Structure 1
């Protein structure tokens, strides 16, 4: 199977490309290169990488692929709020355009990286894929519109699939510290303090990046009738937690860590508990392996081995919004997040201090 992975140099893509190759797929990556050098570990090799903005893809460049796994996006709430209109144009309009081109190019399967954030303000009740969508951020709204509009393209020859994954965590070659569990563990590791940015009451489901990758592979390999134009919540029902419970897991691994609340910590409108039984029941081969407790141990081990530094935690390498703000401040990307000059593998490198040099 020949598979194109957009956003192949992102947090999920850096894991998924390797897992696809291991699963016997012929993989090509497409990535704009914003996070090319934001490396926590040695990134994977073994696939062809096309340096390109997804907004510039032409239909003839998609001919010959059996499937597209679409990860490329402005990928979390703070980043989406940088420019809500741009988030809608890039995430929603950019994805819809790419899906239309894929259909024209006779790509049979188009798998979208969606998000449980589309449920938004949902409260304490357990909700499934049929729940009302109530996103409260630009990122969540863009994902809800993608699910709605790309689904209209489905026909006997074109199969969209929507994987609404829970909040991701876990070690990746291109780590993110703007994800709640990764960030809380980093804070405890570096300072002995688990810094809570909310009051700890919101519910949030969590899923390891490896299990997200398992879901994409399952959606690629599944018979068409099992996944055609279907949305699947990706995670485990048992892995819904209030944010305060995540702090408890971390204290089990770092007993001396203390829990501190930011001065403006309060309730978070994003509160949702998600039922993941449909994927476990209807997505052939999908079987989540990770738990938050195990993920905390993995993160701590990785932070000790590298080791993670205070510069890592506060700098732009592992925080998406800070990285794009850095590139903008240096004049390397414009207001539309396009490179002001061609980006190549050799164009940007990081010094040991984490500062970008050219």
Structure 2
């Protein structure tokens, strides 16, 4: 099966591509490589690729593929808050346009990296795929809009699949330190403090990026009838945690660290628990291989291995907003986040 992965040089993509190759898929990538100067550890695996912004993809780029895995997005909520229109332009309008072109050229499967963050502010309820959406960020709102518009495109020959990923974590060549597990461990390792920005009570479902890839593999291998216009939460029922649980895992893993609450710490509006029963019904072979506690250990061992310091992950190389703003100031990117060099 010929598979096109958008955003293949990003946080998830650089882990997903090697795993897809191991499963025997013929993989090509599309990526503008926005974080080309941000490699952490080993360089990403090179595969045949098209160097394009997802907004600039044309039909001829999509010819001959059996499936598209669409990861490319502005996936940082604070970045989206700086310019919400840009988030909608890239995450929403470009995604819908990509799906339309894919359908027109005969791509059979369109796997969209959606998000459980669409459920947003949900309190104590445990939400399945039928729950109402209550997104609280431009990123989450864009996911709702894409699902709405692309699901309406489904035909006998075009099957959208909406993989609503839980909050991701894990080590990657294009690591993100703004994600909760990655962030808490980095703070603990470099400062001795586990910095809690909420009061510790909000709920959040967690999933490792390798387990996200396992769901993609299942969706690519399943019969067309199984995945046609499917929306499914990606994660595990056992991996719904309160933030204070994650802080405890970090404290038990990183020697000598202590939990510290930010001065303005309070309840986070983004509090939700999610049911993952459906994915196990739809994909009997799917199972998560990682737990949050194991993810904490993976991050800690990686930070030790590469000698991560606070100046590293707080500096412009890995702090994505600062990195993007620096590229704009240097004239390498314009304000639409297109390369000028």
Residues 8-43 of structure 1 deviation map (CA, whole Å, 9 limit, x = unaligned):
000000000000111111111110111123111213
Residues 44-90 of structure 1 deviation map (CA, whole Å, 9 limit, x = unaligned):
32511221111111111111001000000001311211211111111
2-side partners of 1:30 and 1:217: how far apart?
A: 19
User: What residue number does 1:89 align with?
Assistant: 89
Residues 274-297 of structure 1 deviation map (CA, whole Å, 9 limit, x = unaligned):
001111121242111100111111
How far residue 200 of structure 1 moved from its aligned partner, in angstroms, is 1.2
User: What residue number does 2:31 align with?
Assistant: 31
Map 1:1-358 → 2, pairs under 5 A: 1-341=1-341
The count of aligned residue pairs is 341
2-side partners of 1:207 and 1:162: how far apart?
A: 16
1-side partners of 2:79 and 2:222: how far apart?
A: 33
1-side partners of 2:24 and 2:44: how far apart?
A: 15
What secondary structure does 1:96 align onto?
A: helix
How far residue 199 of structure 1 moved from its aligned partner, in angstroms, is 1.3
1-side partners of 2:284 and 2:326: how far apart?
A: 42
2-side partners of 1:280 and 1:326: how far apart?
A: 44
What secondary structure does 1:101 align onto?
A: helix
How far residue 129 of structure 1 moved from its aligned partner, in angstroms, is 0.5
Unaligned runs of 5+ in 1: 342-358
Detail structure 1 runs of 4+ shifted over 6 Å in the superposition. Answer: none
Is the contact made by 1:114 and 1:164 (CA closer than 8 Å) also made in structure 2? Answer: yes
What secondary structure does 1:68 align onto?
A: strand
Residues 280-326 of structure 1 deviation map (CA, whole Å, 9 limit, x = unaligned):
12124211110011111111111101121222221133232222122
2-side partners of 1:320 and 1:113: how far apart?
A: 20
RMSD: 1.1
Is the contact made by 1:233 and 1:275 (CA closer than 8 Å) also made in structure 2? Answer: yes
With 75-84 and 112-121 compared, the bigger mean Cα shift is at 75-84
User: What residue number does 1:345 align with?
Assistant: none
2-side partners of 1:259 and 1:25: how far apart?
A: 44
Residues 200-254 of structure 1 deviation map (CA, whole Å, 9 limit, x = unaligned):
1111000011101111111111111111101110011111111111101111112
**TM-score normalised according to structure 1 size:** 0.93
Change (3 A) 1:284 1:2: farther
**TM-score normalised according to structure 2 size:** 0.98
With 110-119 and 34-43 compared, the bigger mean Cα shift is at 34-43
